[in-house]
Amino acid sequence: MTQINHSIEVNLSGQTALVTGASQGIGKAIALSLGASGAKVACLARNAEKLEATVGEIQSAGGTAMVIPCDATDSEAAQAAVEKVVADWGQLDILVNNAGITRDNLLPRMSDEEWDAVILTNLRSVFLFTRAATHPMMRAKRGRIVNISSVSGLMGNPGQSNYSASKAGIIGFTQTVARELASKRRQITVNAICPGFIASEMTEALGSALDDMVKQKIPLGRLGQPEEVAQAVLYLASDSGAYITGQVLTVDGGLTA
């Protein structure tokens, strides 16, 4: 597996961040990178045990983090999570909406439950946490919101009508909210990142079939690493990204080029 070093030098000292879906994969890599850059990181997911592992790594590296077990689709839980971060740390500077699931099936066989579960987790959670986060960010007259979409929201993918719809919805939501929150007196940026095929336990299980797909469709000829998505988040969350809002950054090795 390709090893990616933490190479972007970003100083987020004194800032606080909240990352949904921080227990594994891309979300965990994002939380670790934010922590390594000096931010205090609130790590959210349903699985408290896995969150403890993420927080433990941040703390072992000298950072500050907290565990917030949370159902990201629950409106009251989302509001309470944001309020806890502000109560404990005084502010919320960075929100990364990463929580997501898949329930793949071809459309004729897709159940109501498979559709609803994906739309709720992947899209409703983005709405709930963004709405909750805008209040402390508007009071502070500053904020960075980064939503994790997918190339599936740009180009579609057979068997993933629910997932593609949710990720396309994130893009439309991002562009609209960016316009709503972009004013001289607010200074809140809202952007989306669309990862392509990123190395994970799921992709490892696909074996040689995935290798063939990578060689045929991805110009760079390899899977992306979670840390590469995390570094894109760091840039958008930093002062260097202050004049970037309403944009969709694709991190896919050239797949959609």
Residue type, 85: V
Would you state the CATH architecture of domain 16-199+225-251? 3-Layer(aba) Sandwich (3.40)
pLDDT at 184: 80
Neighbours of 111 (CB within 10 A): 11
Range with the lowest mean pLDDT among 60-64, 132-136, 201-205, 223-227? 201-205
CA distance 64 to 62: 7
Long-range Cβ contacts of 1-4 (<8 Å, 24+ apart): 1/199, 1/225, 2/199, 2/222, 2/223, 2/225, 3/225, 4/225, 4/227, 4/228, 4/231
What is the total residue count of the chain?
257
Read off the pLDDT of residues 104-115 as tens digits, 9 standing for 90 and up: 999 999 999 999
Read off the pLDDT of residues 12-48 as tens digits, 9 standing for 90 and up: 999 999 999 999 999 999 999 999 999 999 999 999 9
Read off the pLDDT of residues 51-105 as tens digits, 9 standing for 90 and up: 999 999 999 999 999 999 999 999 999 999 999 999 999 999 999 999 999 999 9
User: H helices within the chain, ranges in order?
Assistant: 25-36, 48-60, 75-89, 112-119, 125-140, 152-155, 161-181, 201-206, 208-217, 226-237
Place of tokens 């989302």: 78
Catalytic annotation, residues: 163
β-bridge partners, 68: 44
Enumerate the domain spans of the chain: 16-199+225-251
Q: Which of 60, 19, 20, 53 is closest to 36 using CA atoms?
A: 60
Question: How far does the chain reach from its first CA to its final CA, in angstroms?
Answer: 24
User: H helices within 90-124, ranges in order?
Assistant: 112-119
Contacts of 208 (CB under 8 A, 6+ apart): none
**Residue 216 in tokens:** 């045929």
Q: What is the pTM of this model?
A: 0.94
pLDDT at 205: 61
pLDDT at 1: 45
| Residue 7 confidence class, pLDDT cut points 50, 70, 90 | low
